[in-house]
A and B are shown apart, each in its own frame.
Chain A
Amino acid sequence: MAETATHADQAHHSSTGLSNNKLAMWLFLGSECLLFGGLISTYMLYRGRVITGPRPNAIFDIPFTSVSSFVLLMSSLTMVLAVTSAQRKDDSRTNLWLTVTALLGATFIGGQVYEFTTFYREGLGFTTSLFGSSFYSLTGFHGVHVSLGIILLLSLVGMIKKNKITGNKAEVVELIGLYWHFVDIVWIVIFTLVYLIPS
């Protein structure tokens, strides 16, 4: 036993010295790139293919989407502030920033719901055209990711309040943060490719 104890590497109890959870999260995000890449490519291929119903440029409301994009972008800032608060072990600040992040996310989702209903009223249904199907699939998938993020954030707030997190709290916050930022960067791409560049 004494023998084993002298092996320095063992004290690190991970070969790279990095966190398992973070490695897994980054791998997952790498994988997600190919998921969203596929959806974005499908949209790019199909956005001009409209036989019935409105075309993209006729229907997008750039000022409105700009505002909601901005809201999502700023939620990344509040998320980072939550992470740094967690690293300072400041639970109340962490919870505050997490809640703000979730609220900003919810605002974004609210905007998306509003946008979808408006588009629907203007004649763009899910089955109307290739543009419709691929637009709603892409942005809907992203919306589901944001909603999942909101659930994660709120659950996290609850667990921190009830002190139910047994592991490294800052790391849990950081992991959910990584997910949240990823959802944000996907939107950065969508905002430009889908909304700003006309077909």
Chain B
Amino acid sequence: MSTTAEHHEHGLSDSGYVKIALILAAITALEVSTYYVDFGPLFMPALIVMMIVKFVMVVSYFMHLKFDNKLFSFLFYVGLGLALFVYFAALATFKFFIA
């Protein structure tokens, strides 16, 4: 219903969002660069970290979780957390992370 008025003040301004998008674009460029430049053993962890950063940025800013009521974060992150837990555990039983 119409009781969501309170969070509008807390979001970013349009230019703020553009800035976020620029950062996201820069990270993406970095990600793609790993295809051309050899980063050695850092390659995998760097890619994973960049992925997580992008993910969290979109969720926090574009999807407003940073500014919104914590209940929304709870509902979403419980799902995400459970997904990570069960699928990591299942893949682990296949010895996926050992090989």
Q: Do A and B bind each other?
A: yes
Q: Report A's interface with B, CB cutoff 8 A.
A: 12-14, 16-23, 26-27, 29-34, 36-38, 40-41, 44-45, 62-63, 66, 69-70, 73-74, 76-77, 79-81, 84, 87, 167-168, 170-171, 174, 177-178, 181-182, 184-185, 188-189, 191-193, 196-197
- Structural contact, A44 and B91, CB atoms closer than 8 A: yes
Q: Is the interface of A mostly helix, strand, loop or mixed?
A: helix
Q: Is the interface of B mostly helix, strand, loop or mixed?
A: helix
- Structural contact, A19 and B80, CB atoms closer than 8 A: no
Contact partner, B83, options A34, A77, A80, A81, Cβ 8 Å: A34
Q: With a CB–CB cut-off of 8 A, which chain A residues contact B91? A: 41, 44-45
Q: Which of B1-53 contact A (CB under 8 A)?
A: 1-4, 8, 11, 14, 17-18, 20-21, 24-25, 28, 31-32, 34-35, 44, 47-48, 50-51
The 6 closest A-B pairs by CB, nearest first: A30-B79, A37-B83, A77-B21, A192-B51, A33-B79, A41-B87
B73 → chain A, closest Cβ, in Å? 8
B49 → chain A, closest Cβ, in Å? 10
Sorting the interface of chain B by its residue count into under 10, 10 to 19, 20 to 34 or 35 or more gives: 35 or more
Q: Report B's interface with A, CB cutoff 8 A.
A: 1-4, 8, 11, 14, 17-18, 20-21, 24-25, 28, 31-32, 34-35, 44, 47-48, 50-51, 54-55, 58-59, 62-64, 69, 71-72, 75-80, 82-84, 86-87, 90-91, 94, 96
